A and B are shown apart, each in its own frame.
Chain A
Amino acid sequence: MWTFFHKLGSPPWLYAISGSILKYLLPATLLALGVGMVWGLLFTPPDFRQGDSYRIIYIHVPAAAVALAGYYVMATAGAISLIWKMKMADIAMQCCAPIGAALTFVALVTGSIWGKPTWGTWWVWDARITSMLILLFLYLGVIALYEAYDNKAAAARACAVLSLVGTVNIPIIYKSVDWWYSLHQPASIKFTGESSIHPSMLYPLLLMIAAFYALFACALLLRMRAEILDRERRTGWVRKLLEADAV
């Protein structure tokens, strides 16, 4: 087990394995996203109450779900960075932030667009929406904090602390619709008991959620590959890589 952990910390190993994974994962992810979107847009019945505007669910819910999960990935990388001083963890944490920010942005924008024809407003300061906005600020904060430091090691430490401090926001977001009176309704997908969304609508939603998780993994690996190359440009293994490519 420790050897695997050790290998994760090795830039050439991660660069090689991420390349092999992405060769299959990226096209599969894009295919899943395409199929899911077409399925949700055109091949699912309209909702009995909301009509066709509910179709935004197939992008809004997956984006929000992965934005939350991605924050835990970033915070975990931060914790590993702080405890083991592992450079690869720094890189992972740094690369998570813009992806998480982008997904949170998608969740907020699609939610806002969905809110106008259903609730009657583009924005409302209810518990769920406000805490999602805070999540966006946390992601942007990590990005900004990283840029503020010249020393990458000090930057990583500061970002790790910020990530860890913000972790309480995730359960707050998740339970916000249950703890406070909010305009946003409670969860439709229930982990215990029956979900309150019809199967014909649930299956494409589950596909899109899985596709968004896979997209996060792809985006993270792609970003880490570029970052590793940049940081390791003077090393022997990179030089060998270039020679192998150069014909």
Chain B
Amino acid sequence: MHPVRKQRLYLVLFLVAFSSIAIGLVVYGLRGNINLFFPPAEVAAGKAPLGQSIRVGGMVVDGSIQRSEHNLEVRFELTDYAATVPVIYEGILPDLFDEGQGAVASGQLNADGVLVASEVLAKHDENYMPPEVAEALERSGASPGGNSK
């Protein structure tokens, strides 16, 4: 290869490699701050800060949803199958929010270890199928929904 062009090729490769490593290191270093996400196991272990805005995600525990009679307040529990976090939320829940489905609640942890949520979002997995196929799977014992992290 022409020597000048070879030099330019090395420059291009250096550019890509250097920027990838630099940006990769920054992203890796910031990973704790990017997330501020805590699985229930870490919340139960006391690793989540109190009085600071955090996110807790997991599956909504079956039978844990309690809706208040006179206002929009709702209580439920989130689990990662290692620990459970109780959540209080006042507001409208997304359509896809349901027991046995994934959800992410953001808010502040109070002294009792309950997350007072300012926002609750539903999380769905990557499975797409028609309703009949899902019903058939349920009947045969397999769950139509895969796992949600």
Please give the residue numbers on chain A whose beta carbons come within 8 Å of chain B beta carbons, in ascending order: 45-50, 54, 57, 79, 82-84, 117-121, 124, 127, 161, 164-169, 172, 180-181, 183, 185-188, 196-198, 200-201
Within 8 A of A (CB), among B1-35: 5, 8-9, 11-12, 15-16, 19-20, 23-24, 27, 31, 34-35
5 contacts between A and B (CB under 8 A): A45-B131, A46-B131, A48-B134, A188-B127, A198-B130
A181 and B121 contact, CB distance less than 8 A:
no
Task: Among B15, B120, B149, point to the contact of A161 (Cβ < 8 A).
Answer: B15
A119 touching B12, Cβ below 8 Å: no
| CB <8 Å contact, B94 and A118 | yes
A residues near B19, Cβ cutoff 8 Å: 164-168
B123 within 8 A of A: yes
Task: Give Cα A198–Cα B12 distance, bound, in whole angstroms.
Answer: 42
A183 touches B126 (CB 8 A): no
Asked if B62 is an interface residue, CB under 8 A from chain A, the answer is no
Do residues B8 and A83 form an inter-chain contact, with CB atoms below 8 A? yes
Chain A interface: which of B45-53, B63-71, B108-116, B140-148?
B140-148
Closest residue of chain B to A167 (Cβ to Cβ) is B16
Select one of B93, B96, B149 contacting A49, CB under 8 A. Answer: B96
Identify the B interface with A (CB < 8 A).
5, 8-9, 11-12, 15-16, 19-20, 23-24, 27, 31, 34-35, 37, 39, 57, 93-97, 104, 119-135, 144-146, 148-149
B3 to chain A, nearest CB (A): 12
Q: How far is the CB of A246 from chain B (nearest CB, A)?
A: 41
Complex Cα–Cα for A11 and B99 (A): 62
Chain A residues with CB under 8 A of B95:
117-118, 120
Contacts of A47 in B (CB 8 A): 128-131
Evaluate whether A164 and B12 lie within 8 angstroms (CB atoms) in the complex, with A120-B122, A201-B129 already known: yes
Contact of A119 with B94 in the complex, beta carbons under 8 Å: yes
Q: How many pairs, one residue from A and one from B, have CB atoms within 8 Å of each other in the complex?
A: 121
Cα A47 to Cα B9 in complex, Å, equals: 49
Smallest CB-CB separation from A124: which chain B residue? B121
CB pair B127–A196 under 8 Å, yes or no, is yes
Contact partner of B124 (CB less than 8 A), chosen from A118, A124, A168, is A118
A187 to B, closest residue via Cβ: B126
- Please tell me if the beta carbons of B93 and A120 are within 8 angstroms of each other in the complex: yes
Residues of A within 8 A of B129 (CB): 47-48, 197-198, 201
A201 to B149, CA, bound (A): 24
Per a CB cutoff under 8 Å, which of A79, A172, A186, A197 touches B128? A197
Task: Please indicate the chain A residues that have their CB under 8 angstroms from the CB of B145 in the complex.
Answer: 49
Q: Are A198 and B125 in contact (CB under 8 A)?
A: no
> What 9 new A-B contacts, CB under 8 Å, besides A117-B95, A118-B96, A186-B126?
A45-B132, A49-B145, A84-B5, A119-B121, A166-B19, A180-B34, A181-B149, A186-B125, A198-B130
Assuming the contacts A124-B121, A165-B15, A198-B133, asked whether A48 and B94 have C-beta atoms less than 8 A apart, the reply is no
Bound-state Cα–Cα, A201 to B5, Å: 48
Cβ contact within 8 Å between A197 and B96: no
Known contacts A79-B12, A118-B94, A180-B35: A201-B128 contact under CB 8 Å: yes
Min C-beta distance of A16 to chain B, whole Å? 27
Contacts of A50 in B (CB 8 A): 96, 124, 128
Contact across chains for B121 and A183 when beta carbons are under 8 A apart? yes
Residue of A nearest to B120 (CB): A120
Residues on B with C-beta less than 8 A from A168 are: 16, 19-20, 23-24
**Measured CA separation A54–B134 after assembly (Å):** 15
